Amino acid sequence: MIFDFATFLEREGVGRKLIQLQPTQVFYSQGDSADAIFYLRVGRAKLAVVSAEGKEATIALLASREFIGEESLAGVGALHLATATAIEICSVLKIEREEMIRVMHVESDFSEMFWKFLLARSMRTQADLVDQLLNSSEKRLARILLILSEFAEPGKTEHMIPHITQEALAEMVGTTRSRVSFFMNRFRKLGLIEYHGGIRVHKSLLNVILHDKLPEQN
């Protein structure tokens, strides 16, 4: 019998529970026991860490059809190293650690899919690190807007970001709200984004990332 990914990841069952999170609600907090993996069916979320001095930094942005909390597979007693928080309303499948391990052992196709996800996540984490170390605040903001709009998703025609505060964007970029406000107004005047009940992201914003150029510099 062929394993049905959709049934496993979209429905409740043994060791699996559907939950819904509102914006700013947490999946888990830094230091919590890592005993489950979350599959983000619909919505967007972020991973953030807090230093001993209380300084917070966003380390990853997550979109639909991603797994969260994969460190739970590291072993019994593992702890979450970051806090996962919903950016918008999220529909989530919570998978208990034991059930996830069982399915990976008996379903090779599912196991292969999950390991591909982990590899892609690792590559994106490296790209995020390079972004933080080498790129300007303006370019980091452009990249975050593209990620939040799920621009890379094949076949997606609408690239909208639901309402998100400039304070939240500033936290993700690692800059001040006033700087984000300045960059967002600049992007809007240049026709890179629009405001229509949310933020509509245009393909031209990719030029800021790919060519490090704004239209006025062409």
Residue 58 is encoded by which pair of tokens?
Answer: 């966003």
Confidence of residue 214 (pLDDT cuts 50, 70, 90): low
- Does the pLDDT value for residue 201 go beyond 50? yes
Residue 47 is encoded by which pair of tokens?
Answer: 């991973």
Q: What is the pLDDT of residue 213?
A: 62
pLDDT mean over 20-44 = 94
Instruction: Assign a CATH topology to domain 135-217.
Output: Arc Repressor Mutant, subunit A (1.10.10)
Residues found in the chain: 218
Residue 118 is encoded by which pair of tokens?
Answer: 């982990």
Architecture field, domain 5-114: Sandwich (2.60)
Give me the sheet containing 16-21, strands edge to edge: 16-21, 90-96, 36-42, 66-68
pLDDT digits (tens, 9 = 90+) for 110-166: 899 899 988 888 888 777 777 777 778 888 899 888 888 877 566 555 588 877 888
| Beta-bridge partners for 62 | 45
Domains of the chain: which residue ranges?
5-114, 135-217
Burial call 169-203: b when 16+ CB within 10 Å, e when fewer: bbbbbebeeebbeebbeebeebebbeeeeebebee
Q: What is the pLDDT of residue 156?
A: 58
pLDDT mean over 184-197 = 90
Domains 5-114 and 135-217 share a fold: no
Q: What is the pLDDT of residue 167?
A: 86
- Does the pLDDT value for residue 218 go beyond 50? no
Q: Spell out where the chain has E strands.
A: 16-21, 26-28, 36-42, 45-50, 56-62, 66-68, 83-86, 90-96, 160-161, 193-195, 199-201
Burial class (CB in 10 A: 0-12, 13-18, 19+), 136: middle
Q: What is the pLDDT of residue 95?
A: 95
- pLDDT averaged over every residue in the chain: 85
Instruction: State the pTM of this model.
Output: 0.74
Point out the least confidently predicted range of 25-29, 71-75, 101-105, 127-131. 127-131
pLDDT top residue among 8 and 179:
179
Q: What is the pLDDT of residue 163?
A: 75
Burial class (CB in 10 A: 0-12, 13-18, 19+), 119: exposed
Q: What is the pLDDT of residue 152?
A: 57
Query: Cα separation of 135 and 208, whole Å?
Result: 11
Q: What is the pLDDT of residue 189?
A: 92
Q: In this prediction, what percent of the chain has a pLDDT beyond 90?
A: 38
Query: Cα separation of 153 and 164, whole Å?
Result: 20
